[in-house]
Chains A and B, each alone.
Chain A
Amino acid sequence: MDKLLIAKSEPLWNTDKRIISLISGLIVLLFALPHFGLNSFYLHLMIMIFMHAVMAQSWNVIAGFSGQISLGHGAFFGIGAYATSFLYVQYGISPWISIFLGMIVSGVAAVLIGIPMLRLSGHYFAIATLLIGISFQVIFQRWEWVGAASGVWVPMTSGDSLLALQFHSSKMPYYYIFLVFFIITFFLVWLLSRSKLGYRLRAVRDDPQAALSLCINVSNYKIIAYVISAMIMAPMGSLFAQYILIIDPDRVFNIEISIIVLLITVLGGIGNVWGPIVGAAILIPISEYSRIYLGGTGGAVDLILYGLILMLICIFRPEGLISFFPKNILERKKQR
């Protein structure tokens, strides 16, 4: 009885003071960072890290939490990008509204794709999503209504405009917008991983058969994970479109997007909430610097590195780099 009482008195999860102060310190630092005179390259680098961390987190939700490997996740990024740019150009709808419309469209697309596809498991699903990712690109390349292969050009406002989500004088506003989305996303996903839903998704991932015996409707939970994942991805597409203002199918539906989210997550640590941050913080600088110093023609050099890193991680560290961190700081302490 004694041991049971002790067990019950344990905190639900690690409330280690060090980790809490570390995280809050980091958040403060990130908010203060632009005021230390970062030039626009470093601002861009940070923006890309935030964006890719969120994109990878999106993939982490479907692949890491529920165990379904999507190789076409770029589709939802593209949907988000098109939602804001197209609605703004065609109907003058403020991007702030269409970010949410993009999320909804993405979520609906995920349901429509998910219902037939998530009945498939393993390789079948992975191959199907690969085909979906490419199909989206093919369709948008031919779809005249949304500008076909030339894409959508968002007309520039004359100055900075919060309403139109365009800033030309400095990258700083983009920095803060991406930062806020980044923090919110990670907070929500952290909550998700600690919730009943999170527990059940991991059950579906680890053993769908056993999950069924615990009243878990496996296919429904897979679809829920897919929808959540799609809705995390879409706003990044929207914000990216606002950031570069010219989008076309080859850029926002590129298979490279699907590749990089997978790579970041696997590199950082799949199934771990913090994995995507570690992955993005390491990979994005490598990618941006290699583009600068090794030449960016065709983007092949960074891709060579991606492929190499991915294979090395799979061989030597399948749990990702996060597994180098001492376990008892990240996870609940094992009490004896």
Chain B
Amino acid sequence: MKILSVENLSRSFGGIKANNDISFEVTEGTILGVIGPNGAGKSTLFDLITGYTKTDNGKVSFFNKDISGLSPDKISSLGIGRTFQKLKPFADQTLLENVMIGSFVKEDNIKKARDKALEIIDFVDLIEKRHHFARELSTGQRKRLEMARAMAIEPKLLLMDEVTGGVDQKTIPGLVELIKKLKKSGVTIITIEHNINIIMEISDNILALDQGKRIAYGTPKEIQQNEEVIDSYLGTVDAT
């Protein structure tokens, strides 16, 4: 069952085509990895899907419902959660409060919202930090915070922008485990990732972008052997 389909999506900024005629589909319960060099248009793609940026052209459908042109809050209400590449925690509030703002979406009762938020915080393994202000947390912890917050709205589809970017090497295995755990719980995931080893390990399918264009789409195996991808991105990196 396809959960998201993107058709001919385009967007330019002052003459630069950030996204140029991109199409792909995501099957429910899978992980799609998005790769590409800096400036390939990965984050723009996320912004287009979640309504943060208006599309010039093309269509985004979620469960066969056209969602292009809806505002970000409407799109998130339909069940699409996201994290941000440039982290956006509610800095002056505690971790628990951050996640509660998410869990209030499905839960009006404050006690229940709190308990649900605590379960999610436990899931991302930060329970001891629950009363810390978001600004006191490390980058890796704030990435978990954003994941927890997005999970709290009970999304069917979760878009994660560079979860392992800029974090301590030690914390990466934990984050990878977390993504796998999340997939097991039934959430469909699209993830932007620079670390090629991770993306090969976790993804069911991979979408490769370059200069705003889709250059390849397929299973990790297929992508590894795709010459265009190797040329523009993998280069000399040993992907195995």
Complex CA gap A202/B121 in Å reads 20
**A203→B90 contact, CB < 8 A:** yes
Segment of B23-31, B81-89, B173-181, B228-236 in the binding face: B81-89
User: Counting CB contacts under 8 A, is B127 at the interface?
Assistant: yes
A212-B52, A212-B72 in contact; A3/B90 too (CB < 8 A)? no
Complex CA gap A191/B44 in Å reads 40
Smallest CB gap from A3: residue in B = B127
User: Counting CB contacts under 8 A, is A214 at the interface?
Assistant: yes
User: What are the interface flags for A320-336 relative to B under an 8 Å C-beta threshold, 1 for contact and 0 otherwise?
Assistant: 00000000000010111
User: What are the interface flags for A195-238 relative to B under an 8 Å C-beta threshold, 1 for contact and 0 otherwise?
Assistant: 11001101100110111111111100000000000000000000
Complex CA gap A7/B72 in Å reads 32
Complex CA gap A174/B99 in Å reads 44
8 Å CB contact of A214 from B52, B76, B114: B76
A213-B72, A215-B105 in contact; A207/B131 too (CB < 8 A)? no
Complex CA gap A190/B221 in Å reads 57
**A7→B127 contact, CB < 8 A:** yes
User: Counting CB contacts under 8 A, is A35 at the interface?
Assistant: no
Which of chain A's residues 297-336 have a Cβ closer than 8 Å to chain B? Answer: 332, 334-336
User: Counting CB contacts under 8 A, is A22 at the interface?
Assistant: no
Q: Which residues of B contact A332 (CB under 8 A)?
A: 131
Complex CA gap A207/B135 in Å reads 13
**B127→A200 contact, CB < 8 A:** no
A3-B127, A8-B118, A334-B131 in contact; A213/B89 too (CB < 8 A)? no
A12-B110, A12-B111, A214-B102 in contact; A199/B73 too (CB < 8 A)? no
User: Counting CB contacts under 8 A, is A188 at the interface?
Assistant: no
User: What are the interface flags for A241-254 relative to B under an 8 Å C-beta threshold, 1 for contact and 0 otherwise?
Assistant: 00000000000000
Number of interface residues of A (CB under 8 A): 29
Q: Which residues of A contact B152 (CB under 8 A)?
A: 214
**B119→A214 contact, CB < 8 A:** no
User: Counting CB contacts under 8 A, is A32 at the interface?
Assistant: no
Complex CA gap A164/B105 in Å reads 46
Q: Which residues of B contact A203 (CB under 8 A)?
A: 90, 101
User: Counting CB contacts under 8 A, is A168 at the interface?
Assistant: no
**A215→B52 contact, CB < 8 A:** no
A12-B110, A202-B90, A214-B149 in contact; A7/B118 too (CB < 8 A)? yes
**A218→B73 contact, CB < 8 A:** yes
User: Counting CB contacts under 8 A, is A142 at the interface?
Assistant: no
**A4→B104 contact, CB < 8 A:** no
User: Counting CB contacts under 8 A, is B108 at the interface?
Assistant: yes
Q: Which residues of B contact A196 (CB under 8 A)?
A: 104, 108, 110, 113
Query: How far apart are A202's CB and chain B's nearest CB, in angstroms?
Result: 6
Smallest CB gap from B104: residue in A = A196
Q: Which residues of A contact B114 (CB under 8 A)?
A: 8, 12
Q: Which residues of B contact A3 (CB under 8 A)?
A: 122, 127-128
**A206→B90 contact, CB < 8 A:** yes
**A213→B81 contact, CB < 8 A:** yes
A3-B128, A213-B50, A215-B77 in contact; A206/B93 too (CB < 8 A)? yes
8 Å CB contact of B84 from A7, A200, A210: A210
Complex CA gap A72/B76 in Å reads 34
Complex CA gap A253/B121 in Å reads 49
Smallest CB gap from A210: residue in B = B88
Q: List 24 A-B contacts (CB under 8 A).
A: A3-B127, A7-B122, A7-B130, A8-B115, A194-B110, A199-B100, A199-B104, A202-B90, A210-B84, A210-B89, A211-B73, A212-B72, A213-B72, A213-B76, A213-B81, A213-B82, A214-B102, A214-B150, A215-B105, A216-B73, A216-B101, A217-B73, A271-B92, A334-B131
Q: A212-B52, A212-B76 are in contact. List 19 more A-B contacts (CB 8 A).
A: A3-B128, A4-B127, A7-B127, A12-B110, A12-B114, A194-B110, A195-B110, A200-B101, A202-B93, A206-B92, A206-B93, A212-B72, A212-B73, A213-B84, A214-B101, A215-B73, A215-B105, A217-B73, A336-B128
**Chain A residues in the interface with B (C-beta under 8 A):** 3-4, 7-8, 12, 194-196, 199-200, 202-203, 206-207, 209-218, 271, 332, 334-336
